[in-house]
């Protein structure tokens, strides 16, 4: 599976799985999710490093091609109340093995 396909499936999983927990917002331009590492998560072996953060900027092409779901994620931030927008989207992922959780964060700049 191509990396962009894995990211797309991960976003769909986050938006649609009832087991996903959105963490309390700390920053106005980000949204963080945590969920059990027992769930069948798309790309769990490709993109979730154990006890390390992996950060990547989503390509402008990916953001443009997936604007609807990216906007759904952005609407969960506090920035949307001020009619804010974004140019870049950053994805941070980790497998928190000591807690049995996957961590996914989207930051919008």
Residue/partner pairs of 53-59 with CB below 8 Å, 24 or more apart: 53/92, 53/93, 53/94, 54/92, 54/93, 54/94, 55/90, 55/91, 55/92, 56/90, 56/91, 57/88, 57/89, 57/90, 57/91, 58/7, 58/88, 58/89, 58/90, 58/91, 59/4
Write the pLDDT tens digit of every residue in 44-72: 888 999 999 999 999 999 999 999 999 99
Domain containing residue 23: 3-108
Is the pLDDT at 89 greater than 90? The verdict is: yes
What is the mean predicted confidence (pLDDT) over 25-52? 91
The total domain count for the chain is 1
């Amino acid at each position: 599976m191509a990396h962009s396909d894995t990211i797309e499936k991960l976003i769909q999983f986050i938006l649609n799985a009832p087991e996903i927990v959105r963490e309390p917002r700390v920053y106005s331009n980000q949204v963080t999710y945590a969920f059990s590492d027992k769930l069948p998560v798309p790309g769990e072996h490709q993109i979730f490093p154990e006890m390390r953060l992996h950060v990547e900027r989503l390509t402008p092409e990916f953001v443009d091609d997936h604007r609807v779901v990216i906007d759904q994620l952005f609407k969960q931030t506090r920035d949307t109340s001020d009619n804010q927008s974004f140019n870049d989207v950053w994805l941070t992922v980790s497998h928190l093995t000591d807690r049995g959780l996957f961590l996914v964060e989207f930051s919008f700049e």
